[in-house]
């Protein structure tokens, strides 16, 4: 069974940075792509970034140039480096497998961007 644990969120001022982590277990991590999603209050969950098993990356237009996704297969962990944060980045951030998302979503990690 896939188990995903997100961490690294917090309260940050606009323009600040955070690095999120997602530790995965129960899968052969290196053969999976990984996605980051986020869900803001009152909104649907939206896709943020993807890294393939070959470490190719893609980003939503709203975060392109500010966020960087990376992975460490030795640690079964995917990261999301978030720079130049904006209030509209406030959300709970989740990771999941790609191309087939596991139904076992983690608890997410809260990111709040506010002065």
What does the pLDDT look like over 23-35, one tens digit per residue? 999 999 999 999 9
Contacts for 29 with CB less than 8 Å, ≥ 6 apart: 73, 76
How large a percentage of the chain has pLDDT more than 70? 100
Residue 92 — very low, low, confident or very high, per pLDDT cuts 50/70/90? Answer: very high
Residue 89 — very low, low, confident or very high, per pLDDT cuts 50/70/90? Answer: very high
How large a percentage of the chain has pLDDT more than 90? 98
Please, how many CA atoms are within 13 Å of residue 23, restricted to the half-sphere of its CB? 4
Contact assessment for residue 12 and residue 85, using Cβ atoms and an 8 Å cutoff = yes
DSSP letters spanning 42-98: TS--EEEEEE-TT--EEE-TTTTTTEEEEEEGGGTEEEEEE-S--GGG-EEEEEEEE
What does the pLDDT look like over 4-60, one tens digit per residue? 999 999 999 999 999 999 999 999 999 999 999 999 999 999 999 999 999 999 999
């Amino acid at each position: 069974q896939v188990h995903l644990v997100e961490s690294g969120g917090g309260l940050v001022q606009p323009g600040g940075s955070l690095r999120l982590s997602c530790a995965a277990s129960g899968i052969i991590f290196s053969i999976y792509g990984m996605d980051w999603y986020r869900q803001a209050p009152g909104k649907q969950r939206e896709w943020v970034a993807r890294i393939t098993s070959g470490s190719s990356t893609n980003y939503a237009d709203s975060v392109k140039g500010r966020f960087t996704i990376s992975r460490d297969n030795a640690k079964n962990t995917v990261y999301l480096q978030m720079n130049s944060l904006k209030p509209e980045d406030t959300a709970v951030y989740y990771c999941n497998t790609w191309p087939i998302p596991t139904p076992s979503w983690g608890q997410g990690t809260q990111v709040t961007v506010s002065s």
